[in-house]
Chains A and B, each alone.
Chain A
């Protein structure tokens, strides 16, 4: 029998995580409704160019489909901007509005030709989309000010999560495309874990901020990798006990079996993943690396990235097992435009073929060599260019000799910073964990401090995901949901590194991770 809402709530409450943030973290997870209410809604076309954004024209300025403050999540406010129920000077547009003539939900459906995206804080050069506006980077400073956790901030914000419980019977649909047929994955998991629940905790951070090592030198508006609207999640796998907790007078909840820590994998080759980013889940055994207080996992959130980790401190790159992190596509944004174009060259120019990136690099070295040769006189442009050619061949030779990038190579390049052990910024804990910090250890060095400690506010029932009425949960076979991006689209972003992301497919990533973990034993 399916779980009741009350049973789901009790499971969510039981396993709710404790989040530990870095002292310099600027964003905490916020309520999606607050983010939506504070955002405008835009659409763009497949070119991604600003002259196709929103309404207006021909030409500029462009304006959004729904102005900032106009998005309503209430069906009885389906006014298409004609009425202003909040009397704030902005009409209301119901996000779930249905256009009966076109038979579409214009504010939920997002396809290549009509891609939707939210705009919460505009661009670094302002809110306008005009002939002269750059629109090349989101404005994290403005976002941080909007969601500052103080009474004067424009958007009332407090740490928030949404949560839901999946039963094993609901798993089938997520295995389609994961393995070749739907049932095998479920069988695999059943064999490994028996009947299980997965309890999900979803977090929306207003902004994503990147601090890749060495990238300081390259950072500018065009290359920092920041974006608006950053989702992440935690999944808790619990074996369903023979006697359910609520069937006994003193409910006893079982310990989880596995934890799934949501991480955004970066820089994957485009032929592995359609987008540069891919959602991953790092699976950990509850009795292994997972730190906890009772049944509540301690989760360490990396600064700016908001990836989740089982341990505090500097973290190796996510996806270290896949030796294919494409530093060339990532690389602080340097050369990403050329990289994307060279990928196309690879597909169309048979003489250059799959060596396009190596050859492109040689060409850059030739160019540099030619200019050096010209400036230095005796070598001359040609001499310099040919020296650049040799340097390029040397580079290609170095990558063609037999070696595999070691985890250490990538680790050094892509370390992330979760808070250091014992030295935290914000700590957010469930109400039944009055003090999540270690403070009475006989060894003083093991005692922990935090800049601030708060409990998850609100009622547990208000945190329950309800896909039938909450329109923001993205792709789901059964329910309508907003499928667009959660932050501004930006210009000159060929790898879509700096445009907002869609709600990630956490569930599929977790199940894939569980299957792989089961295979690895």
Chain B
């Protein structure tokens, strides 16, 4: 899911060189330097001046973070004011407030199409079980921010969950023109950190993870060309003006349904997220190793269906499927994407896999079949 896009281990000098491979280098201003940070020789930047910061320009990579994970090894020397650790312009922020509560926030919509507003979780109000946590002063700590791109934003102190919000309605938006600012605000010299930062890592959602996983299955010379044709057909449809509109309308419909189901799973809280992660890991393994129509996969499909219905409710699943059914019928997709490969002859394992799902997820409010 996550893709590392920035990794700074600070060294003396005016530049923070990114060693993640994504070349998100930063310009260091007015920061001091410690030879020994969290460990001997690790090096750290010291933020004492009101002008101290590291600024990372907003490259294309920051335009679609969707999900975001930040991990920062820092030392807070004084509270009494907001202390910014890292902030993406108009997008996300990780900071400590005047009382020492750790905040993770994103500038997202609270309902589809709604105006953007800053929201998130802080360790003063959103601690698990109502526990309030403040960051220790003058001690090296590891703070982590995780927004899953759907519903949850969680904040950790030294790997312990200290704040969580499972009710978000949108992912992490694009970073604005002011870029990413470390130890200071993005807009002006404000909210400056009083302390030091040894290391910073930022991850975004990996947009190719799903497709990569799908293609990680053990294809063979018999079924692989068939799947190649499916993708080619989709490409052709997207190039044809009339078909494109139909396909995009259906894709928008699928996107809404998919997002809503995944959001609701993640909105169900820590136990559901944990169980979902376990099921997802098991699925990845089964898909990669096969057989995808074997008894283990059948069992997994049942487990997942049970988990899904228990977690978000059968009615939610049915509503999503009904909406997509209508969109699918309207799309007259098969007119625009005619059959070119018979999977029943080419990929019997996939047929078994699909029929496994079909048995568990029958069309609830299916409109009259058009096929």
Contact = CB atoms under 8 A, between A and B. Distances in A.
A515 interface: yes
Contacts of A346: 64, 207
Interface residues of B, number: 113
Nearest to A216: B221
B354 A355 contact: no
B144 to A, nearest CB: 12
A353 B64 contact: yes
B17 A399 contact: no
Nearest to B8: A519
B247 interface: yes
Interface in B170-203: 171, 203
A470 to B, nearest CB: 30
A381 B371 contact: yes
Interface in B325-371: 325, 328-329, 333-334, 337, 339, 342-344, 350-351, 353-355, 357-358, 360-363, 366-367, 369-371
Contacts of B232: 337-338
B131 interface: no
Given A269-B208, A364-B230, A368-B350, A399 B255 contact: no
Contacts of A342: 238
Contact of B234 (A327, A360, A392): A360
A328 interface: yes
A1 interface: no
Interface in A354-369: 354-369
Interface stretch (A31-39, A90-98, A309-317, A372-380): A372-380
Contacts of B353: 391
Given A327-B212, A405-B206, A386 B361 contact: yes
Contacts of A337: 231-232, 235
Interface string A162-195: 0000000000000000011100100110000000
A388 interface: yes
B138 interface: no
A364 B234 contact: yes
Nearest to B10: A519
A363 B247 contact: yes
A453 interface: no
Given A184-B14, A387-B355, A398 B259 contact: no
Interface stretch (B75-83, B85-93, B99-107, B273-281): B273-281
B363 A354 contact: no
B258 A358 contact: yes
Interface string B192-226: 00000000000101111111111110111101110
Contacts of A365: 354
A334 B251 contact: no
Contacts of B358: 369, 373, 379, 383-384, 386-387
A400 B262 contact: yes
A481 to B, nearest CB: 25
A324 interface: yes
Given A361-B211, A368-B343, A398-B284, A324 B362 contact: no
A214 interface: yes
B31 to A, nearest CB: 15
B175 to A, nearest CB: 12
B212 A359 contact: no
Contacts of A367: 230, 233-234, 333, 337
A404 B221 contact: no
23 contacts: A179-B17, A184-B15, A217-B220, A319-B21, A323-B2, A323-B4, A324-B22, A328-B211, A328-B212, A341-B238, A349-B252, A357-B210, A372-B344, A379-B358, A381-B334, A383-B363, A384-B358, A395-B214, A397-B280, A403-B280, A516-B17, A519-B17, A520-B19
Given A188-B17, A324-B4, 8 more contacts: A179-B17, A323-B4, A371-B342, A372-B354, A386-B328, A399-B213, A401-B277, A516-B19
Interface of A: 179-181, 184, 187-188, 214, 216-218, 220, 223, 269, 271-272, 319, 321-324, 326-329, 331-335, 337-342, 345-346, 349, 351-376, 379-405, 409, 413, 512, 515-516, 518-521
What are the 8 tightest A-B residue pairs by CB atom distance, in nearest-first order? A322-B21, A328-B211, A328-B208, A401-B280, A327-B212, A335-B231, A337-B235, A381-B371
